[in-house]
C-alpha cells in the first residue's frame, strides 16, 4: 500500500518563512572577525564587480609583501554552498587576480536568499565614486599621519624639517 505524504500546512510554511527572516546580522563579525574564520575555496565566493581598480592594486601589493589583512566578511546562502562578500570586495578581487585558491573569510551567518542576493549584487558596498573620492584619500591621510608621527618620534628636535618633508609627501600624493 502506497503511503501518501502529507502536504505541509499553510501555517508550517508561514513559520518556515518567518524563521528565514528572523536571522539577525552578526555585528560581532565586524569587530572580532577572527572568531568567525573559515577558509573557503575562492570559486564558492561571489562578489559585486564595482570595485576601484587602484584599491585592488593596493591590496595586491600588500598580499605580495606578506602584510596581514583582515578577513573578507561573507554571508552564506541559506541552501546552497555559496558565499557572498559583504565586506572586502577589493581584497577578494586582489586574491582572485593573484591566483589564490582559498582565502580566510569571516562568516557573518547564513541569510535569507534576498539578503544573499543583495550582498552578491553589492547593495552593501559603497559606490566606487565614494571609494575613490572619500575612502582612498582617507586611507592616504592615515598613512601620511603615521609617517609624520614616525618621523617626528625619531627626531623631535627637527620639527620644521619633519613638517617640510610631510608637506612635500602630501603634495606628491595629490
- Is residue 97 within 8 A of residue 56, CB to CB? The reply is yes
Report strand pairing: 102-110 vs 37-41: antiparallel
DSSP for 134-160, written as a single string: IIHHHHHHHHHHHHHHHHHHH-GGGHH
pLDDT at 21: 44
Residue where the block lists cell 561573507: 74
CA 119 distance to own-chain centroid: 11
Tens of pLDDT, residue by residue, the chain (174 residues): 455 555 566 666 555 554 544 455 667 777 888 888 999 999 999 888 878 888 899 999 999 999 999 999 888 877 778 888 888 889 999 999 999 999 999 988 765 555 656 665 665 666 566 666 666 666 677 777 777 788 778 877 777 887 787 788 777 766
pLDDT at 69: 92
- Domains (ranges, CATH) in the chain? 15-125 (3.90.1530.10), 126-174 (no CATH)
Distance CA 93, CA 166 (A): 32
pLDDT at 22: 44
Distance CA 114, CA 116 (A): 5
Distance CA 148, CA 101 (A): 38
CA angle 124, 130, 135 (to 5 degrees): 100
CA angle 73, 122, 86 (to 5 degrees): 10
For 33, the grid coordinates are: 572577525
Distance CA 174, CA 171 (A): 5
pLDDT at 101: 95
Which among 102, 107, 68, 67 has a CA at the least distance from the CA of 87? Answer: 107
- Bridge partners (DSSP) listed for residue 104: 39
pLDDT at 12: 65
- Which of helix, strand or coil describes residue 68? coil
Amino acid at each position: 500500500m502506497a503511503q501518501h505524504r502529507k502536504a505541509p500546512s499553510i501555517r508550517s510554511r508561514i513559520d518556515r518563512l518567518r524563521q528565514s527572516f528572523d536571522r539577525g546580522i552578526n555585528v560581532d563579525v565586524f569587530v572580532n572577525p577572527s572568531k568567525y574564520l573559515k577558509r573557503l575555496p575562492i570559486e564558492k565566493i561571489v562578489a559585486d564587480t564595482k570595485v576601484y581598480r587602484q584599491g585592488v592594486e593596493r591590496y595586491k601589493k600588500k598580499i605580495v609583501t606578506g602584510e596581514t589583512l583582515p578577513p573578507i566578511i561573507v554571508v552564506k546562502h541559506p541552501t546552497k554552498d555559496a558565499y557572498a562578500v559583504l565586506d572586502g570586495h577589493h581584497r577578494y578581487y586582489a586574491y582572485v587576480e593573484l591566483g589564490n585558491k582559498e582565502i580566510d573569510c569571516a562568516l557573518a551567518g547564513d541569510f535569507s536568499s534576498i539578503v544573499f542576493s543583495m550582498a552578491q549584487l553589492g547593495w552593501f558596498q559603497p559606490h566606487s565614486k565614494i571609494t575613490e573620492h572619500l575612502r582612498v584619500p582617507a586611507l592616504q591621510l592615515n598613512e601620511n599621519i603615521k609617517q609624520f608621527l614616525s618621523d617626528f618620534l625619531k627626531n623631535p628636535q627637527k620639527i620644521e624639517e619633519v613638517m617640510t618633508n610631510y608637506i612635500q609627501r602630501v603634495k606628491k600624493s595629490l
